[in-house]
Amino acid sequence: MKGSKGYYSGTRSLLRKPTREKGKPKISKILHEYKSNDQVIIKMDSSVQKSMPHKRFHGKIGLIVEKRGRGYVVDVPQGEAIKQIIVRSEHLEPYTGK
């Protein structure tokens, strides 16, 4: 049988949530404001499909460029290139490393 080539193919374990985290996202996560040049982790939230990034960006660390509408423009390094993606705050977490 031929393998599926859909947008969400290969995300069975990636989009699965633990039992206690199922349901709607927390309101504090939705209302969290990011400033320009903040570092964020892209973590897809399967309960919100709007403005969900592609699975290749899950777990990557990016830099906030600007706010655009309800989402944010994020610079994400991919190999030698830097990709710009537009993501809502439900799919972002503040990066506290370093």
| Other C-beta atoms lying within 10 Å of the C-beta of residue 42 | 21
Please classify residue 35 by burial: count the beta carbons closer than 10 Å to its beta carbon, then call 0-12 exposed, 13-18 middle and 19+ buried: exposed
User: Considering the domain boundaries, does residue 18 fall inside one?
Assistant: no
Which of 70, 11, 72, 22 has its CA nearest to residue 42? 72
| Other C-beta atoms lying within 10 Å of the C-beta of residue 41 | 16
User: Considering the domain boundaries, does residue 60 fall inside one?
Assistant: yes
Q: How far apart are CA 27 and CA 90, in angstroms?
A: 9
User: Considering the domain boundaries, does residue 5 fall inside one?
Assistant: no
Is the whole-model pTM more than 0.85?
Answer: yes
Q: How far apart are CA 38 and CA 62, in angstroms?
A: 8
User: Considering the domain boundaries, does residue 47 fall inside one?
Assistant: yes
If one counts the domains in the chain, the total is 1
Per-residue pLDDT of the chain (98 residues; tens, 9 = 90+): 888 888 888 888 888 988 988 898 889 989 999 999 999 999 999 898 898 999 999 999 999 999 999 999 999 999 999 999 999 999 999 999 86
User: Considering the domain boundaries, does residue 73 fall inside one?
Assistant: yes
Give the residue numbers spanning the domain of 52.
Answer: 35-94
User: Considering the domain boundaries, does residue 49 fall inside one?
Assistant: yes
Output the domain CATH number for residue 87: 2.30.30.70
